Amino acid sequence: MGQVSALLVRSNVQPQDRLENGGPGFSVDDSGKSRGEELDYVQTLNWVLPETIRVIAWTPVPEEFNARFSCRGRQYRYFFTNLDGRLDIEAMSKAAGYFVGEQDFRNFCKLDVQKQITNFCRRIEKAEIVPYEGLPANKDSKMWMLKLHGTAFLWHQVRCMMAILFLVGQKLEEPEIVRDLLDVEKYPTKPEYEMAYDVPLVLYDCVFDGLEWRYPEESSRSRQRVLSDLFATWHEHKMRETLSGLFCTAFGRSQEILPGKGLEKSITVTTGAGQGKVMKTYKRVEKRTRQEAFDVVNERYRKSARYELKQRKREEKTQARGNGQDTMAVEDS
């Protein structure tokens, strides 16, 4: 929901007529005169984007603005159900509290060797397990979410955090496992565990200083187009939810959705995907195989042919920019 991208675009307004924008502009008028109001970027971009991507607002930014590095905070939501009370919400809330603060999250991420990351410290400002009533609001929806606010996040960090919270919610681990995994002296390397399902994860908002988003006017064509597209998406998924719920209640011969019970002599581990992972026995995190240390993995990648090829391409790209050959001006967060 809150994704932000920066790109260089044409403008109807000359730089001297829009000094508050703080950036260069390219007039559509070859005579060098401003042509009234600014272009409708929301409508223009949405006409050429796929239906699953919609621009909802825009704002002018300075040349030095970077969608990734100018962002001073990110907010995530992770949704999950607790239909029959299988998850201990109180225990999950206690465990989530250990995430708050400046922490080393090397045991709560997937290592990206291409970025050669050596600093895994990130700051979490809020980590709360709260009920979600849905739309329209329904206090008995039995839907919950993790509200997560932080300054920055590592690759797959939220899905790893949620995976451990699920284990705590199922009482397979104590809430203190989060505190222990954040202790790099106790866990210098990451135990192997499966990440939580990706679909319920939403980038809810990105926080920037000094940006004033410009939304389409209430009666504008671009606003009505976005609303129409979003309604069509909601309607399709609502119909699928209704029909699948009907199948569940018809087969279960109950007015409630029954998630089904696991097989005898087996354990079903929740991953957020609806159907958990079935295993005969559960091995606690502290006894699992550990992954290699990040510095060992990074060093091995630096010695690979793939790394040498990437470095060579980077040097060629830098040289091309110096010769004025690179005209790319798009930044994606």
Q: What is the pLDDT of residue 174?
A: 98
pLDDT tens profile 41-56? 999 999 999 888 999 9
Q: What pTM, to 2 d.p., does this model score?
A: 0.85
Mean pLDDT across 57-66: 87
Confidence of residue 151 (pLDDT cuts 50, 70, 90): very high
Mean pLDDT across 157-175: 97
pLDDT tens profile 323-332? 644 332 323 3
Q: Which residues contact 296 (CB under 8 A, 6 or more apart)?
A: none
Q: What is d(CA 8, CA 38) in angstroms, rounded to the nearest whole number?
A: 14
pLDDT tens profile 108-134? 999 888 888 889 999 999 999 999 998
Question: Given strand 73-81, what is the order of strands in its sheet?
Answer: 101-104, 121-132, 143-150, 73-81, 201-207
Mean pLDDT across 252-258: 84
Q: What is the pLDDT of residue 72?
A: 94
Q: What are the φ and ψ backbone dihedral angles of 294, each rounded to 5 degrees?
A: -60, -35
Q: What is d(CA 87, CA 74) in angstroms, rounded to the nearest whole number?
A: 27
Question: Are β-strands 267-269 and 277-279 bridged in parallel, bridged antiparallel, or unpaired?
Answer: antiparallel
Q: What is the pLDDT of residue 331?
A: 32
Mean pLDDT across 85-100: 96
